[in-house]
Structure 1
Amino acid sequence: MPALVLVEVSIHDPELYESYKKLTPGSMLPFGGKFVVRGAQTESLEGDWNPERLVILEFPSVQKAKDWWNSEEYTKAKNIRYQAAKSKMLVVESL
């Protein structure tokens, strides 16, 4: 069953975050991942949720998403993200 990874990001070092953005797409390919939303403008319809940046990824399964997140390829990018931004990330089964 497909899975979505939802990421809310608040960037405090935009220049360093650009390095993260360059590494992430290639790290997803071996796991069948692709971008569904990558930083597009958001508009809150209910509540006070207004993320600075929202990213949604799609993977073939929750396990593939977890394998990507734990991979050596993504760990390099992830360590840059930890320095450049604060984020929240969820994985959820899709329909």
Structure 2
Amino acid sequence: MPAAYMIVQIKITREEGWPEYRQKVAELFARHGGRHLVRGGPVEVLEGSYDGRRLVIFEFPSMDVIRSVWDSPDYAEVKKLREGAGELDVWAVPGV
């Protein structure tokens, strides 16, 4: 089964809620075979521009797994921890 990737760009607007969210989302994603590949850190721009947002990349077993976790009641509960505390762009991309 080919892998799939969840790519997240985050601008934290209020730190409250994020530490617990990070812990719980990592645990939830791990239960579904997800793992961090990139978790913040410096970005080296080789071409183009970088807007300064935090970059996080997860690997999952498949697009179906990403969709099922994203749409799950478990994630809906975890997501409440960061509501109103940041702006996110989240993409799911199939591997090759």
Common fold: TM-score over 0.5: yes
Which consecutive residues of structure 2, in runs of 5 or more, have no partner in the other structure? none
After alignment, is 4-13 or 80-89 more displaced? 80-89
> 1:82 maps to which residue?
83
Aligned-pair CA distance for 1:50: 2.8
Cα RMSD of the aligned pairs, angstroms, is: 1.4
> 1:25 maps to which residue?
26
1:7-86 aligned at under 5 Å gives the runs: 7-86=8-87
Which consecutive residues of structure 1, in runs of 5 or more, have no partner in the other structure? none
Aligned-pair CA distance for 1:72: 1.8
Normalising by structure 2, what TM-score? 0.88
Q: Deviation digits for residues 11-69 of structure 1, max 9, x if unmatched?
A: 01113211211211111123211111111221222222233200000000000011111
After alignment, is 26-35 or 59-68 more displaced? 26-35
**Amino acid paired to 1:90:** W
| Fraction of identical pairs, as percent | 31
Aligned-pair CA distance for 1:6: 0.3
Output the CA distance in 2 between the equivalents of 1:40 and 1:48: 16
1:93 matched to 2:94? The reply is yes
Normalising by structure 1, what TM-score? 0.89
Higher helix fraction (1 or 2):
1
Aligned length: 95
1:2 matched to 2:40? The reply is no
